[in-house]
């Protein structure tokens, strides 16, 4: 069987997650090309056939088999009550590599202090099902209406509260809203149709993608540090390096010197490079990474 005889039909999120998704795929080794008006992007892998679809809809299409697999938020899987296989979590969002939250928000001057205070109130949200299940879980009866957008500006004139998606809370604060409670924390997920998951070829392709995508995300916050040092300084340098495992140490042609390399969190590099230099390291090089496979 040639690779073109069978394809995995993949749903990619159009909108706020699109560029971040394309970037992660590129670092995983898959280049995606599309035009501004196209919903049929191309990937430089003949095994993959992709579609650009709103993240809100992807889990439904995966569940029904229109798509074999897709990238969407856990929140939309819950909202749609979709019966799919969640292969792995992919910790990235529109603005960074962190979870997002659906929160109950109200005007700063509101008397609402908890979910119980929503009894009999009117709430606007794009995630109606998610909100209704949250209220039912807490024994609260309220009117929940679908919001077509600009949900933050509807308080307090049109509704008493909103349930809105946020990464940092900055948009809510800009509209003089405060968070009352968190309804759901969500991360991006790689999902697959249950029938496709039972197909050996499709499952193997999905697992390949999952491995490379998670590896690309793991590399986002890490760098490779390389340096030379005298053999007698290795123990002291190893104590400074917060590596994933023990640093790799190789002897150089000059038996008194070694080459050391290790993967570290990028955020600590600015702190430890001066310490490494002071402890005897020379020729220190910092290199970016595309993938880290544990």
Domain spans of the chain, in order of start: 3-97+188-219, 100-185, 222-288
Fold (topology level) of 100-185: D-Maltodextrin-Binding Protein; domain 2 (3.40.190)
- Dihedral of CA atoms 235, 239, 243, 247 in degrees, nearest 10, equals 0
Other Cβ atoms within 10 Å of 206 Cβ, number: 24
Is the Cβ–Cβ distance between 277 and 237 less than 8 Å? Answer: no
* pLDDT tens profile 18-47: 888 999 999 999 999 987 677 889 999 999
**3-97+188-219 and 100-185: identical CATH topology:** yes
Given a cut of 90, whether residue 117 has pLDDT beyond it is yes
Mean pLDDT of 140-160: 91
- Tell me if the pTM is above 0.85: no
Give the burial class of 90: count Cβ atoms within 10 A of its Cβ; 0-12 exposed, 13-18 middle, 19 or more buried: buried
The arrangement of secondary structure in 3-97+188-219, i.e. its CATH architecture, is 3-Layer(aba) Sandwich (3.40)
CATH number given to 222-288: 3.30.70.120
What confidence score (pLDDT) does residue 3 get?
40
Other Cβ atoms within 10 Å of 272 Cβ, number: 19
* pLDDT tens profile 56-72: 999 999 999 999 999 99
Distances 225 to 124, 140, 241, 281 between C-alpha atoms, Å: 50, 54, 9, 11
Q: What is the DSSP string of 215-282?
A: HHHHHTTEEEEEEEEEGGGHHHHHHH---SSSPEEEE-SSTTEEEEEEEEEHHHHHHHHHHHHHTT-E
Tokens of 251: 């002897």
Tokens of 152: 């933050």
């Amino acid at each position: 069987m040639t690779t073109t005889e069978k394809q995995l039909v993949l749903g990619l999120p159009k909108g706020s997650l699109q560029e971040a998704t394309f970037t992660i795929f590129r670092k995983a080794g898959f280049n995606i090309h599309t035009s501004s008006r196209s919903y049929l992007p191309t990937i430089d892998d003949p095994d993959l056939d992709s579609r650009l679809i709103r993240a809100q809809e992807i889990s439904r299409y995966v569940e029904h088999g229109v798509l074999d697999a897709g990238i969407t938020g856990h929140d939309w899987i819950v909202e749609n009550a979709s019966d799919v296989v969640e292969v792995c979590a992919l910790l990235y969002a529109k603005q960074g590599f962190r979870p997002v939250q659906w929160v109950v928000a109200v005007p700063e001057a509101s008397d609402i202090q908890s979910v119980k205070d929503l009894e009999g109130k009117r709430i606007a949200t794009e995630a109606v099902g998610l909100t209704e299940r949250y209220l039912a879980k807490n024994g609260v009866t309220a009117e929940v209406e679908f919001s077509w957008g600009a949900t933050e500006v509807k308080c307090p004139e049109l509704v008493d509260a909103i349930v809105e998606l946020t990464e940092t809370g900055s948009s809510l604060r800009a509209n003089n809203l405060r968070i009352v409670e968190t309804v759901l924390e969500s991360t991006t997920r790689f999902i697959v149709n249950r029938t496709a998951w039972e197909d050996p070829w499709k499952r193997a392709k999905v697992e390949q993608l999952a491995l490379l995508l998670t590896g690309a995300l793991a590399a986002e916050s890490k760098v490779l540090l390389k340096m030379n040092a005298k053999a007698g300084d290795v123990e002291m340098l190893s104590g400074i390096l917060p590596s994933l495992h023990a640093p790799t140490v190789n002897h150089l042609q000059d038996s008194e010197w070694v080459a050391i390399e290790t993967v570290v969190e990028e955020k600590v590099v600015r702190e430890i490079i001066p310490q490494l230099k002071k402890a005897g390291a020379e020729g220190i090089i910092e290199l970016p990474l595309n993938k880290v496979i544990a």
